[in-house]
Amino acid sequence: MKNYVVSGAANGIGKAIVLSLVREGHQVFALDIDEQNLNLLKLEAPKQIHTYTIDVTDFRAIERALLPVVKEQTLFGVILSHGIDNEHTISENSIWDRIIATNLTSTQRLLSLLCPAISNGGRVVMISSILGKVGRKNNSAYCASKHALLGITKALALELAPQRITVNAVLPSWVDTKMLREGLAQQARMMGNTVPLLLKRIGKRIPLGRLISAEDVAGSVNFLLSPAAVMITAQSLVIDGGDGCGV
């Protein structure tokens, strides 16, 4: 039994990661702002899942919640899956500030608190995005935050290498979660389409023939947490079903 911290645990990719960890018999400290879905998640394995309803941009709340954990527990892994997206132009400062605080600054604060509690040979995995490698119109803050996670991954991998702790990022493209469905809703309205129809079209365009599931991403994260990945660090693993490999 190993101890893990997972952020963004109440929904989508984070939830799939938590469920795969508890299936393997591990204990998970699960963070999210979404209290309702966090409570539902806890019901899946009440003895193994410890839930913390916190806004990761509230640094005092992070400390209050996690200081007792890091004092009492040794962690094997930290998986950061929280994140938000919102279309905006380059001059919309408040949206920029909110996305950078949520996706980027909170990551540094969480890692500063949690890294000292990670055991030798442990793991850090950050959920970046394919938008950590390429751009998208009206998404400068999201793209900047996800590119920056790759910078943190490389620098922190070097910092933690003496303790044999690996630090990697996964970069999914189209994952069928609440985030993607909400992002597509406005586009669907403007085009007079439905979200399921847009999802079907995107799935068909992907060379491997379907959208990526949260469980697909959890599977890749499990690989990075496994003994097989012990010598893999500072890497960016793209999970896109071949979407980015040609025109």
Ligand X SMILES: NC(=O)c1ccc[n+]([C@@H]2O[C@H](COP(=O)([O-])OP(=O)(O)OC[C@H]3O[C@@H](n4cnc5c(N)ncnc54)[C@H](O)[C@@H]3O)[C@@H](O)[C@H]2O)c1
56 binds ligand X, rule: CB under 6 A: yes
178 binds ligand X, rule: CB under 6 A: yes
52 is catalytic: no
- Spell out the residues 6+ positions from residue 189 whose beta carbon is closer than 8 angstroms to its own: none
Q: Can you tell me the distance from the alpha carbon of 221 to that of 114, in angstroms, rounded to the nearest whole number?
A: 18
- Spell out the residues 6+ positions from residue 232 whose beta carbon is closer than 8 angstroms to its own: 166, 168, 224
Name which position in 32, 49, 88, 140 contacts ligand X (CB under 6 A): 32
Q: Can you tell me the distance from the alpha carbon of 5 to that of 63, in angstroms, rounded to the nearest whole number?
A: 14
Residue closer to ligand X by CB (options 110, 229) is: 110
Minimum distance from CB of 117 to ligand X (Å)? 19
Q: Please state, in angstroms and as integers, the Cα–Cα distance from residue 163 to each residue in 116, 118, 208, following that order.
A: 10, 9, 38
Only segment of 32-40, 69-77, 116-124, 197-205 that touches ligand X (CB under 6 A): 32-40
Residue closer to ligand X by CB (options 231, 245) is: 245
Residue closer to ligand X by CB (options 53, 73) is: 53
180 binds ligand X, rule: CB under 6 A: yes
Q: Which helix (H) or strand (E) holds 138?
A: none
Residue closer to ligand X by CB (options 44, 230) is: 44
SS3 content of the chain, % helix, strand, coil (to 5): 50, 20, 30
Question: What is the set of active-site residues?
Answer: 142
Question: Which residues of this chain interact with ligand X, rule CB under 6 A?
Answer: 8, 10-14, 32-34, 55-57, 81-84, 102, 127, 129, 172, 174-175, 177-180, 214
